[in-house]
Chains A and B, each alone.
Chain A
Amino acid sequence: MSAAHMFVEYAADLYRSCLLTAAYFTSLAPAIFYRKGVFHLNAKNKDALYGYLYILPSFLLLLIFSIIPIFLSVYFSFTEYNVIQSPTWVGLNNYIRMLKDPFVTAALKNTVIYTLISVPLQTILSLVIAALIAGEFRNTYGNFLKSAMFVPVISSAILVGTLWGLMLTTDGGLINNVLALFGIGQINWLGSIKTSLISVCITAVWKNIGYFLVIFYAGILDIPSSHYEASKVDGASGWQQFWYITIPQLKPITYLVITLGMIWSFQVFDLVYVMTGGGPGKSTTTLVLYIYTTAFREYSMGYASSIAFLMFIVIILLNSLQNLLFRERN
C-alpha cells in the first residue's frame, strides 16, 4: 500500500472519529455551558438536566444500534444493496421475489417445524423434571440435579453444536453407540434429510431444558403450600396434585416459557450454522440462516432485509401474543 493511500485512510479514520466526538460533545453542550455559568437553573430543572445526562450515553447506543437500524432495515428491504454501492430503490421487487423463492418457503417451514417440535418438548420435560425435583427432592440432591442440568445453558450454542455434531456421527458417535446397545442400527442423524432437523431440535432441547427448569422450579416454590395441604386432606394423590394444582398455578409461567421458547426458536442460527450449515439440501435452512447467507455470502443485503422484515413481523406477533396472555393474567 502506498504512503499516499495510507495517509488517505488515516485521514478518513481521523475525520470519522472527530465527527463522532463532535456529535457526543454537542449533545453534552447544555451541561458544559451550565458548568461554565452561561445560564442558571433552579433545582427542578437541574435535576431534569442530570436526568438527561444519565440517560444520554445509553440512549445514543440504543439509537445507533437499535432504533435507526430498524428503520434502515425497512428501507433496505425496498432496495438492491450490496454494501459497496449505495442502495438503489426497487420498490416491492424483493417482496415479490420472496413469494417465489423456494428457500424462503423451506426456511419458513423448517423454522415452524423446529418450533413445533422443540417448544412442546422442552416445556413439558422441564416442567415435569422441575415438579419432580420440587416435590421429592428439596434438598442437596435436588440442588445438585438442578446445577448439573444447568451446565448446558452456560455453554455456547457453537460448543453444543460441535459436541453434538460429533456425538451424532455414524463413525462411533456416542448416540449411535448407545442406540446400538438397544439393537438399533447406525443412523446418519445429520446427514439424512429425514433426521437432520429433528437432530438439531433435540440438541436445542437438551441445551434449553436447564434454563426452563429453573424458571419452573422458582414458580413451583411460589405456589402457596396451603393448596397442597388442603388437597392432601382431601386425599389427593401426587399425580392429582400435579394435574389439578401445580399445572393451573403455573399457567402464567408456562405462557412465558412457551412464548420465550417460540421467540428463541424463530431466531435459531448458531446451532444449524455449526451442525448442518442448512443442509442436507434445504432440510435445516432456517430463517436467520437464510438471511445470513443471502446477506453475507451472496451480498444481496436488500433482499435479505426483506426476509428479516418478515421475521420481524412474526416475532412482533409472538411478542404481542405474550403480552396479551400476560394481561389476561393481571
Chain B
Amino acid sequence: MNTRLRSPLDKAGRILLAAFLLFCALFAFIPFVYMFLLSLTQSKSLYFNMGDLSFDFLNYLRVFRNTNFLSALKNSMIVTGSACILNCVLSSMAAYGFAKKKFPGNRLLFRIYLTTLMIPGQVTLIPVFAIMKNIGLLNTYPALSLIIVNAFGVFLIHQFMENVPDELLEAAKIDGCPEFQIFFRIVIPLIRPVLVSLTIFTFITSWNDFIWPLVIVTNSKMNTLTLELSLLKGQFATNYGLVMAGSTLSFIFPFILYILLQKQFVEGIALSGIKG
C-alpha cells in the first residue's frame, strides 16, 4: 500500500505489532463467541468446557417457549422497520425543503432543528412520557418508532443535498414535472447513498434502543427485544445458557446485516456520529 508512510520497523517488530493488534481484535470479538458457545450448553456454571456443547439448540427453543421472545422479535422488527422508513421519508422531505426551497423562516427553522440535536432524550423522558400517555400512545408501535425520528437525519441529508444540482430541478419543472414527482423521481435517487447510511444508523439506534421502550411499554405483549433481554437475566439468573441464547437472538440480525454491509455500516454509524 502506501509505502512512503511506513515507519522504519523491522520484520520482527511488525510481527510483534500484528500479534498485539490481533490480541486487541480477539478481545473485542471473543466475548461474542463465548456468548454463542455458552448458549449451546446446559451447565449451571460459567466454567466452559467443550464437552458441554450440544447442537440441539434446546435453549433457543426454551427461550421461545417460556418467554415473550417471539413476540418481542416481531415487535422489534415492526418498530425498527417503520422507524427506518419514517426517518428516511420525513428527513429527506424536510432536508429537501430546507436546501432547495426559499421561504421566509427557512434559516431560522433550520437553526431550531440543529438546536434540538443538543437535547438528549433522557432530559425529555418525563414530558414525552406524559404526552404519550395523554394522547393514548403508550404501548403502541407508532410511539416506539416516532420517538426515533429526530433532527439528525435532516441535518445529515441536508449536507448531501448539494449533490442535487438546481439546474436539474429547474429543467424538470420547466418540462412540467409535478412537484412531488420531482422529489420522488429525481431527488430521492440522487441521495440514495446517504439514505443507506441513515437507514443503517436508524436501524441500529432503534433495534438497540432501551430507555424509550422501557418507559413507553407497560404491557409485556409490546416488549421489544432489548426489554425482553433485560428481563431474561432476572428471570433465569443462573440458567446462563438460556440468557446467552436470548442475547444471541437479539444480536443475530444486526450481526448478519453488518457482515453483509460492512462498509456502509461503518460509514453509517461511525461517521454519522460526527454531527453538529
Contact = CB atoms under 8 A, between A and B. Distances in A.
Given A159-B250, A263-B120, A301-B130, A62 B113 contact: yes
B126 A141 contact: no
Interface residues of A, number: 107
A162 B243 contact: yes
A179 to B, nearest CB: 14
B233 A12 contact: no
Main secondary structure of the interface of B (DSSP, over half): helix
Interface stretch (A98-106, A147-155, A192-200): A147-155
A187 interface: no
Contact of A55 (B9, B98, B273): B98
A150 B45 contact: no
Interface in B219-276: 226, 229-230, 232-233, 240, 243-244, 247, 250-251, 254-255, 258, 262, 265-266, 269-271, 273-274
B164 interface: no
A170 B10 CA distance: 43
A58 B127 contact: no
A295 B28 contact: no
B269 A68 contact: no
B135 to A, nearest CB: 6
A256 B91 contact: no
Interface stretch (B64-72, B102-110, B190-198): B102-110
Interface string A129-140: 100111111110
B204 interface: yes
Nearest to B243: A162
Given A163-B31, A238-B8, A273-B210, 11 more contacts: A62-B113, A83-B133, A137-B18, A156-B210, A163-B35, A171-B45, A174-B31, A211-B273, A269-B210, A305-B126, A311-B123
List the 10 closest A-B pairs by CB distance, nearest first. Answer: A238-B7, A51-B101, A54-B97, A172-B46, A156-B208, A48-B103, A72-B127, A69-B127, A69-B124, A148-B25
Interface of A: 12-13, 16, 20, 44, 47-55, 57-59, 61-62, 64-70, 72-73, 76, 81, 83, 129, 132-139, 141, 144-159, 162-167, 169, 171-174, 177, 206, 209-211, 214-215, 218, 225, 228-229, 232, 237-238, 241, 256, 260, 263, 266-267, 269-270, 273-274, 288, 291-292, 295-296, 301, 304-305, 308-309, 311-312, 315-316, 319
